[in-house]
């Protein structure tokens, strides 16, 4: 069985985005009523999935995708808590409908209603609702709700502890995933996402989060940003700060996905990071589109790269690690 741990609903029906657009318009001009989410027919959801993620999943031999709302649209930089709540609920309810419609092929992960500098009570409440009432298996946690201005404390700060407490109580992991950036220095997909992955790993290296939350599990997407490529640097930095071996110690709680879009990158990832810390992911339909003109392989068809690595324990990467990190995943039909 092949579980893709990182897919987003980038193809949601247009009415969903229209609701978001209405929300953003309302934030600028509150003279009208608060926008209400639209009714979206099952048929629209079905078509948007069958023609896209489900088709590609099947074509590539995948079985199950751990699925969440479009990451770049989470839009946590909008400071209104009510808007954030409504938007997260709308996104998560839509994700839940996909998972209910295709229970063998999609397991849901929730967006949290974060705001820059805002409290995390709403995030905890939404996480509980999604896991306990809707059967979600994890969440996406944004370490920079400001959207590229990095105004939040590091993930090791007590500010974040309410979310971690809920995660541990519910036995769900978080994928650490930023949203769009409003900072013109950063391209979302080509800089901000990877920078966040790198940044968070270093926050964890210098902090002591897992001394407090020993059971907490964090998935760093996009192959861990720059981290595996600079694994020697992190070992050396751990020495420098008087914590030799610390980079490796983090691997008790930290996992990397395989959203790395060429063979040399996957070769490095699987050579450097222990197999038990690697979760299969394509992030389709996501950041990149189309095929490498040299190889003819879709850039994000990461299974092709993994299959080409000699001697790899593929069942571990394709299924077993995901089941360990996301224990609420149930087998189809169970």
Structure tokens at 281: 């992911």
3-state secondary structure of 86: helix
Listed ranges 23-31, 36-44, 102-110, 141-149: which one lies at the site for a second copy (CB under 8 A): 141-149
- Minimum Å distance from CB 63 to a second copy? 24
- Minimum Å distance from CB 297 to a second copy? 9
- Give the nearer residue to a second copy in terms of CB position, either 203 or 212: 203
- Give the nearer residue to a second copy in terms of CB position, either 171 or 292: 292
CA distance 128 to 120: 12
CA 199: distance to chain centroid? Answer: 15
- Give the nearer residue to a second copy in terms of CB position, either 17 or 206: 206
- Give the nearer residue to a second copy in terms of CB position, either 212 or 248: 248
DSSP track, 48-71: HHHTTHHHHHHHTT--EEEEEE-S
If one asks whether residue 114 binds a second copy (CB under 8 A), the answer comes out as: no
Per-residue binding string, a second copy, 265-304, x by CB under 8 A, is x-xx--xx--------------xxxx-xx-----xx----
ω before 162 within 30° of 0 (cis)? no
**Site size toward a second copy, by CB under 8 A:** 60
Q: Is 283 annotated as catalytic?
A: yes
Whole-angstrom distance between the N-terminal and C-terminal Cα of the chain?
Answer: 15
If one asks whether residue 143 binds a second copy (CB under 8 A), the answer comes out as: yes
DSSP track, 238-297: HHHTT-TTHHHHGGGTEEEE----SHHHHHHHHHHS-GGGEE-----SSS--SB-TTT--
- Minimum Å distance from CB 242 to a second copy? 11
Active-site residue identified among 104, 126, 283, 319: 283
CA distance 38 to 35: 9
- Minimum Å distance from CB 246 to a second copy? 11
CA distance 239 to 20: 47
- Minimum Å distance from CB 4 to a second copy? 17
CA distance 5 to 107: 9
Residue with tokens 């299924």: 319
- Give the nearer residue to a second copy in terms of CB position, either 46 or 304: 304
CA distance 31 to 299: 46
Structure tokens at 139: 């969440």
Q: Pick the closest to residue 46 from 92, 100, 3 (CA basis).
A: 100
- Give the nearer residue to a second copy in terms of CB position, either 96 or 238: 238
Listed ranges 43-51, 69-77, 106-114, 149-157: which one lies at the site for a second copy (CB under 8 A): 149-157
Task: Map the footprint of a second copy across residues 188-247, applying CB under 8 A.
Answer: 189-191, 194-195, 198-199, 201-203, 205-206, 222-223, 225-226, 228-237, 239-240, 244
Task: Map the footprint of a second copy across residues 153-172, applying CB under 8 A.
Answer: 153-154
- Give the nearer residue to a second copy in terms of CB position, either 135 or 154: 154
- Minimum Å distance from CB 33 to a second copy? 37
- Minimum Å distance from CB 86 to a second copy? 28
CA distance 37 to 53: 24
Strand residues in the chain grouped as ranges (E): 3-9, 64-69, 106-111, 138-141, 174-176, 218-220, 254-257, 278-279
Which residues are at the interface with a second copy (CB under 8 A)? 143-144, 148-150, 152-154, 183-187, 189-191, 194-195, 198-199, 201-203, 205-206, 222-223, 225-226, 228-237, 239-240, 244, 260-265, 267-268, 271-272, 287-290, 292-293, 299-300
Instruction: Point out the residues that are catalytic.
Output: 283
């Amino acid at each position: 069985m092949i579980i893709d741990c990182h897919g987003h609903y980038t193809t949601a029906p247009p009415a969903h985005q229209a609701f978001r657009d209405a929300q953003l318009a309302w934030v600028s001009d509150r003279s009208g009523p608060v926008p209400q989410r639209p009714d979206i027919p099952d048929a629209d959801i079905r078509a948007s999935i069958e023609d896209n993620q489900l088709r590609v999943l099947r074509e590539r031999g995948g079985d199950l995708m751990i699925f969440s709302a479009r990451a770049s649209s989470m839009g946590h930089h909008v400071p209104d808590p009510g808007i954030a709540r409504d938007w997260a609920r709308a996104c998560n309810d839509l994700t839940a409908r996909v998972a209910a419609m295709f229970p063998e092929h999609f397991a849901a992960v929730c967006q949290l209603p974060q705001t820059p500098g805002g409290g995390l009570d709403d995030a905890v409440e939404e996480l509980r609702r999604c896991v306990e009432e809707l059967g979600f298996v994890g969440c996406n946690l944004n370490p920079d709700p400001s959207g590229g201005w990095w105004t939040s404390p590091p993930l090791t700060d007590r500010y974040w502890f309410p979310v971690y407490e809920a995660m541990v109580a519910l036995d769900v992991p978080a994928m650490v995933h930023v949203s769009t950036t409003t900072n013109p220095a950063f391209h979302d997909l080509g800089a901000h996402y990877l920078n966040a992955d790198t940044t968070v790993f270093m926050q964890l290296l210098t902090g002591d989060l897992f001394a407090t939350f020993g059971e907490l599990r964090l998935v760093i997407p996009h192959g861990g940003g720059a981290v595996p490529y600079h694994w020697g640097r992190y070992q050396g930095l751990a020495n420098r700060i008087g914590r030799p071996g610390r980079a490796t110690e983090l691997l008790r709680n930290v996992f990397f996905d395989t959203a790395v879009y060429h063979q040399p990158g996957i070769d490095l990832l699987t050579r450097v990071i222990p197999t038990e810390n690697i979760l299969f992911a394509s992030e389709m339909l996501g950041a990149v589109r189309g095929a490498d003109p040299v190889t003819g392989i879709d850039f994000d068809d990461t299974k092709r790269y993994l299959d080409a690595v000699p001697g790899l324990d593929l069942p571990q990467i394709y299924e077993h690690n995901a089941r360990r990190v996301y224990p609420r995943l149930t087998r189809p039909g169970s």
